[in-house]
Amino acid sequence: MPYSGRYNSSSRRKFITSAGVAGVVALAGCTGDSSNSSDSDGGTTGGGDSSMEIGALQPFTGTYDWIAAETEPSMNLAFKQIENEGVLGMNTINMNKQDTAVKPQQAKQGLITLDSAGVPAVIGPTSSVMPSLIEPVQNAELPMNTVTAGTIQLDSVGGEWLWRSVPSDAVGGAAAGLYAYEELGHRNIALTYKNDRGSSSFSKAVGAAFEAKGGTVETEVPLPVNANSYRSQIEELINADPDMVQMTAATEISTLFVKNYDQLDAKESFNLMLGNDVLTESFIESIGADVAEGFIGQAPAPGPANEQFVQAFRDEYDRAPGTFAAAAYDASNMFALAFQHAGEVSRDVIPESLPAIANPGGTKVTTFAEGKTELENGNEINYIGASNPQDFDENGNVVGPFSVLQATDGEWKSATTYQADTLSEVY
């Protein structure tokens, strides 16, 4: 008689089937396999082909899938406008979509797939995976412009094959740190952040800027993922007695943190300065306007061509563009203008032509059509972005003004705007 406490062969088979199904469900739900939505007919080197293919290495699945939901329509809008004008005789732009699934290895495999497909340029992904792509991008000599990665780990590594159309966290951190020290008169703050690279990067940038002005960071409290409560972390912060706490975390963690913050009446001890992820009105709605009242945040000041972009986006999709959409639009336009500038669609022309069309020194243009006309007339151009001015420094970082926001009557309202040269003195 089989021992009843053991797995006999029958239950073993049941287990195999169950575990197999669990495994494939994990595969379906967790691996976030990447994809290629284009027909990939080549067309990546210009010349005789009538189409070209641009890589989109974005989080189409996973924790940050909402980002791709914002950047993809924006890229499509730009591609549509570019196709109407044509780039060097090409009137079709295919998007080769590769999913990062917010996982470094998936992102690397996506990048290698794009490299193997021969795309001339890639719109790049988030801070969660970007640092893992620095070396592969440089080795492949495949131009990438990330439209979401603010991580400070990119601050000094770009400029040759890597650029970003969003400011470094160091810039946003500088704005927040400056505001806390100079405008609010705080002299000691505490940092708390989701215990991952992107979140800690931003919080530490705020702390560095604050300390550069002469303030003190009393303590740092990492927030574990998937916690049921952040009461102990909040109590630790209360005990540190800071004037203000800077918190960077994704929406779910921030919502739970603020709920616990409210339950503990921690507002009597410190105000909160938040990271970029939660600077939305829906976040204020989720936590309650009365709780959010007075919270501080920061965001890149909209670019000179923002209104024009927002209108075009509304006309196309009948809704307002979300976070990072403008940067994706800018990055798409700039790659196309760089090819137009060089007279060739290839990877090799980007390092010289991208800064040439983006940085000050030529006729200011805000769309691909304007830029193409100027280039065809033999003029140099300076692309002015929808997300920010899109002027690159030698390390491929955009520099531009940053706004500090404050939650007031259920809305995020601009408190002040720091110009790029002011911020560059701090970070």
Token pair of 14, please?
A: 């049941």
Q: Report the C-alpha gap between 264 and 173 in whole angstroms.
A: 27
Q: Is 372 in the site for another protein (CB under 8 A)?
A: no
CB of 41 to another protein, least distance (A): 7
CB of 193 to another protein, least distance (A): 10
**Beta carbon nearer to another protein, 37 or 263:** 37
Q: Is 373 in the site for another protein (CB under 8 A)?
A: no
Q: Is 27 in the site for another protein (CB under 8 A)?
A: yes
**Beta carbon nearer to another protein, 36 or 323:** 36
Indicate which single residue of 51, 92, 109, 286 sits in contact with another protein (rule: CB under 8 A): 109
Stretch that binds another protein, among 195-203, 263-271, 287-295, 370-378 (CB under 8 A): 195-203
Q: Is 36 in the site for another protein (CB under 8 A)?
A: yes
Residue 297 has what DSSP assignment? E
Indicate which single residue of 57, 64, 77, 110 sits in contact with another protein (rule: CB under 8 A): 110
Instruction: Name the region of 360 (left: φ>0; alpha: ψ -120 to 50; beta: rest).
Output: beta
Indicate which single residue of 20, 47, 288, 410 sits in contact with another protein (rule: CB under 8 A): 20
Give the closest residue to 216 by CA, choosing from 179, 176, 188, 181: 188
Site for another protein in 44-63 (CB under 8 A): 44, 60-61
Q: Is 132 in the site for another protein (CB under 8 A)?
A: yes
**Beta carbon nearer to another protein, 146 or 306:** 146
CB under 8 Å to 337, separation ≥6 — which residues? 353, 357, 365, 368, 371, 372, 375, 381, 383
Site for another protein in 219-258 (CB under 8 A): 222
Q: Report the C-alpha gap between 59 and 324 in whole angstroms.
A: 13
Indicate which single residue of 103, 164, 186, 372 sits in contact with another protein (rule: CB under 8 A): 103
CA distances from 310 to 76, 278, 367 (A): 14, 21, 13
Stretch that binds another protein, among 30-38, 256-264, 272-280, 396-404 (CB under 8 A): 30-38
CB of 82 to another protein, least distance (A): 18
Q: 301, 398 in Cβ contact below 8 A?
A: no
Site for another protein in 288-347 (CB under 8 A): none
Count Cβ atoms below 10 Å from residue 425 Cβ, excluding itself: 11
Q: Report the C-alpha gap between 161 and 144 in whole angstroms.
A: 6
Indicate which single residue of 205, 292, 296, 349 sits in contact with another protein (rule: CB under 8 A): 205
**Beta carbon nearer to another protein, 124 or 389:** 124
Site for another protein in 155-184 (CB under 8 A): 155-156, 170
CA distances from 18 to 2, 7, 24 (A): 22, 14, 10
Give the closest residue to 273 by CA, choosing from 176, 199, 152, 151: 176
CB of 398 to another protein, least distance (A): 19
DSSP helix/strand/coil, 45 = coil
Q: 389, 398 in Cβ contact below 8 A?
A: yes
Stretch that binds another protein, among 17-25, 83-91, 302-310, 393-401 (CB under 8 A): 17-25
